[in-house]
C-alpha cells in the first residue's frame, strides 16, 4: 500500500515537472524577461561619449575635461554645451524597457538595431566602455480614444526599438530621446552669444564704422539715447532680447583678420566685464556674428535673423522709432 502511494506521488511530481518544462519552453519569453534598466552606470564618472550612425557615416565624440565637455570636430576641439551633454547622459541612463520586441538577431534588421544600422551610443570612462546601446527604429503609436471630444484627445506615443550592443534582445522604450539626439559635432557645440541679467546693464554702445555711433544708457532708472530721452518701450523691448542670445548656424573656418567690420555692440555691465557682439560683412547680404562670450564661435548672421535683431540703428530707440521683433 505504501509503495503504491509513493509511486503515485512520484508520478504526480513527474507530471508537474513535465508541465513546467512545457510551459517554460512554449511560453512567450518576451513576456517574462524584461530588464529593469537598459543602462546601469554612474553618469558622474563618464568622461567620454561616442555617438555614431554607420548608415550616414557620422560620428560625434565628446570629452570631459576639468569638469566641462568638449566636442571633437575633425582635428579640433570646441567647447560643448554642458547642459545638452548632461541631458544625453541623463535621458539615455533613464531609459526603461516597456516590453521585449525580439529575442534573436533575425529581427535586428526589421527594428534597425543591427551593428551597421541605427544610432550607436557609447558611454566611456577612459577607453573602458560602460554602456553601449543601438537606438533603432522610431514608432509612433496612437492611443485609444475613449473620449470623442477632439479637444480632449491624447497625444501619440513615441516609441523606439533599442538593443544593448552585446545583447540579442530588442526592447521597446520611450523614443523622445532619439529625436533630440544630435548627429553632428555642431549639434553639441556651445551656441551661446549673450547671457546676462538685464538689470545689470549700465549702457550699450553701438559703433558702426563709417556710419554712425550712439549710446543707450540708464540714468536715474530712465533710458537715454546719447543725452536725450529714449523711447522707453522700444528700449526695454530691445534689452529683453539680450537676456539670452544664441546662434543657430556656425560659419566654419572663418578668419576675422582682414574682414570688414560692419559694427560692434558693447554691453557695459555692473560688476562684470562687458559683452561685445561684432558683425562682419562678408558681402552685400551676408553677415557673420561673433561674441566675446564665445570666442570659438562665428555664426551666420542671416540664420534666424540674428544680425537684423541686434545690429539696429539709432531710430530703434528714438520716440516713434522702428525697433523690430
- pLDDT tens for 63-113 read 999 999 999 999 999 999 999 999 999 999 999 999 999 999 999 999 999
Q: Indicate whether 41 and 183 sit together in one domain.
A: yes
Asked if 58 and 120 touch (Cβ cutoff 8 Å), the reply is no
Which pLDDT value is given to residue 32?
A: 43
Which pLDDT value is given to residue 31?
A: 45
Mean per-residue pLDDT for 204-227?
93
- pLDDT confidence band for 6 (50 / 70 / 90): low
Q: Indicate whether 37 and 122 sit together in one domain.
A: yes
Question: Which residue has better confidence, 323 or 301?
Answer: 301
User: Is 15 a domain residue?
Assistant: no
Asked if 291 and 297 touch (Cβ cutoff 8 Å), the reply is yes
| Residue span of the structural domain in which 65 resides | 33-145+152-187
Q: Indicate whether 83 and 229 sit together in one domain.
A: no
User: Is 49 a domain residue?
Assistant: yes
Which pLDDT value is given to residue 291?
A: 98
Which pLDDT value is given to residue 2?
A: 45
H/E segment holding residue 14 = helix 2-26
Check pLDDT > 80 for residue 1: no
Mean per-residue pLDDT for 42-47?
96
User: Is 122 a domain residue?
Assistant: yes
Which pLDDT value is given to residue 99?
A: 93
User: Is 322 a domain residue?
Assistant: no
Tell me, rounded to whole angstroms, the distance of Cα 134 from its chain centroid.
18
Which pLDDT value is given to residue 157?
A: 82
Q: Of 10-14, 22-26, 210-214, 249-253, give the lowest mean pLDDT range.
A: 22-26
Q: Indicate whether 241 and 295 sit together in one domain.
A: yes
Question: Which residue has better confidence, 12 or 36?
Answer: 36
Domain of 206, CATH number, reads 2.60.40
DSSP string for residues in 102-138:
ESSGGGTTTTT-STTSSEEEEEEETTEEEEEEEEEEE
pTM metric for this prediction:
0.81
Sign of the CA dihedral with 231 first, then 236, 237, and 238 last: positive
Q: Indicate whether 284 and 183 sit together in one domain.
A: no
The C-alpha cell of 94 is what?
533613464
What Rg value do the Cα atoms of the chain yield, rounded?
Answer: 30
Q: Indicate whether 172 and 266 sit together in one domain.
A: no
Asked if 291 and 306 touch (Cβ cutoff 8 Å), the reply is no
SS (H, E, C) 80-112: ECHHHHHHHHHHHHCCCCCEEEECCHHHCCCCC
For 191-212, the pLDDT digits (tens) are 999 999 999 999 999 999 888 8
The C-alpha cell of 306 is what?
540674428
What is the residue-averaged pLDDT of the chain? 88
Report the candidate in 295, 292, 299, 293 with the shortest Cα–Cα distance to residue 252. Answer: 299
User: Is 233 a domain residue?
Assistant: yes
Look at residues 137, 169, 187 and tell me which one is the last residue of a structural domain.
Answer: 187
Which pLDDT value is given to residue 280?
A: 97
Q: Indicate whether 242 and 311 sit together in one domain.
A: yes
For 13-42, the pLDDT digits (tens) are 666 677 666 555 554 444 445 778 899 999
Q: Indicate whether 179 and 54 sit together in one domain.
A: yes
d(CA 47, CA 29): 36
Look at residues 163, 187, 211 and tell me which one is the last residue of a structural domain.
Answer: 187
Check pLDDT > 50 for residue 244: yes
Q: Of 85-94, 154-163, 169-178, give the lowest mean pLDDT range.
A: 154-163
Percent of the chain with pLDDT over 70: 84
Q: Indicate whether 82 and 96 sit together in one domain.
A: yes
Which pLDDT value is given to residue 156?
A: 74
Which pLDDT value is given to residue 218?
A: 93
d(CA 80, CA 71): 6
Mean per-residue pLDDT for 129-155?
76
Q: Indicate whether 52 and 182 sit together in one domain.
A: yes
Which pLDDT value is given to residue 259?
A: 93
Q: Indicate whether 88 and 128 sit together in one domain.
A: yes
Name the domain count of the chain. Answer: 2
Look at residues 187, 211, 237 and tell me which one is the last residue of a structural domain.
Answer: 187
Which pLDDT value is given to residue 37?
A: 85
User: Is 205 a domain residue?
Assistant: yes
DSSP string for residues in 234-281:
HHHHHHHHTTEEE--SB-TT---TT-EEEEEEEEEETTEEEEEEEEEE
Q: Indicate whether 157 and 211 sit together in one domain.
A: no
Check pLDDT > 80 for residue 305: yes
User: Is 260 a domain residue?
Assistant: yes
User: Is 61 a domain residue?
Assistant: yes
Calculate ∠ Cα 76-121-175, nearest 5°.
125
Calculate ∠ Cα 93-97-103, nearest 5°.
120
Amino acid at each position: 500500500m505504501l509503495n503504491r502511494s509513493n509511486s503515485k506521488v512520484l508520478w504526480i511530481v513527474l507530471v508537474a515537472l513535465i508541465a513546467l518544462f512545457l510551459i517554460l519552453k512554449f511560453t512567450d519569453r518576451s513576456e517574462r524577461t524584461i530588464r529593469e534598466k537598459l543602462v546601469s552606470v554612474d553618469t558622474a564618472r563618464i568622461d567620454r561619449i561616442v555617438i555614431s550612425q554607420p548608415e550616414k557615416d557620422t560620428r560625434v565624440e565628446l570629452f570631459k575635461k576639468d569638469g566641462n565637455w568638449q566636442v571633437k570636430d575633425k582635428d579640433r576641439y570646441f567647447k560643448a554645451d554642458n547642459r545638452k551633454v548632461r541631458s544625453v547622459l541623463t535621458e539615455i541612463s533613464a531609459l526603461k524597457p516597456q516590453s521585449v520586441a525580439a529575442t534573436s538577431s533575425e529581427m535586428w534588421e526589421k527594428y534597425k538595431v543591427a551593428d551597421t544600422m541605427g544610432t550607436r551610443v557609447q558611454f566611456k570612462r577612459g577607453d573602458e566602455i560602460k554602456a553601449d546601446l543601438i537606438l533603432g527604429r522610431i514608432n509612433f503609436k496612437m492611443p485609444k480614444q475613449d473620449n470623442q471630444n477632439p479637444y480632449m484627445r491624447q497625444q501619440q506615443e513615441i516609441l523606439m526599438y533599442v538593443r544593448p550592443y552585446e545583447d540579442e534582445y530588442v526592447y521597446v522604450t520611450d523614443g523622445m530621446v532619439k529625436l533630440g539626439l544630435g548627429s553632428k559635432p555642431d549639434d553639441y557645440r556651445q551656441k551661446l552669444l549673450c547671457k546676462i541679467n538685464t538689470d545689470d546693464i549700465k549702457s550699450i554702445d553701438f559703433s558702426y564704422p563709417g556710419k554712425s555711433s550712439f549710446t543707450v544708457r540708464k540714468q536715474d532708472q530712465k533710458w537715454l539715447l546719447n543725452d536725450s530721452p529714449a523711447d522707453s518701450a522700444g528700449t526695454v523691448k530691445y534689452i529683453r532680447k539680450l537676456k539670452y542670445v544664441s546662434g543657430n548656424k556656425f560659419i566654419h573656418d572663418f578668419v576675422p583678420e582682414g574682414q570688414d567690420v560692419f559694427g560692434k555692440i558693447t554691453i557695459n555691465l555692473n560688476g562684470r566685464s562687458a559683452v561685445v557682439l561684432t558683425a562682419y560683412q562678408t558681402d552685400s547680404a551676408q553677415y557673420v556674428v561673433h561674441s566675446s562670450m564665445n570666442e570659438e564661435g562665428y555664426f551666420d548672421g542671416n540664420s534666424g535673423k540674428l544680425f537684423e535683431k541686434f545690429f539696429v540703428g539709432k531710430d530703434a530707440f528714438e520716440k516713434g522709432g522702428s525697433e523690430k521683433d
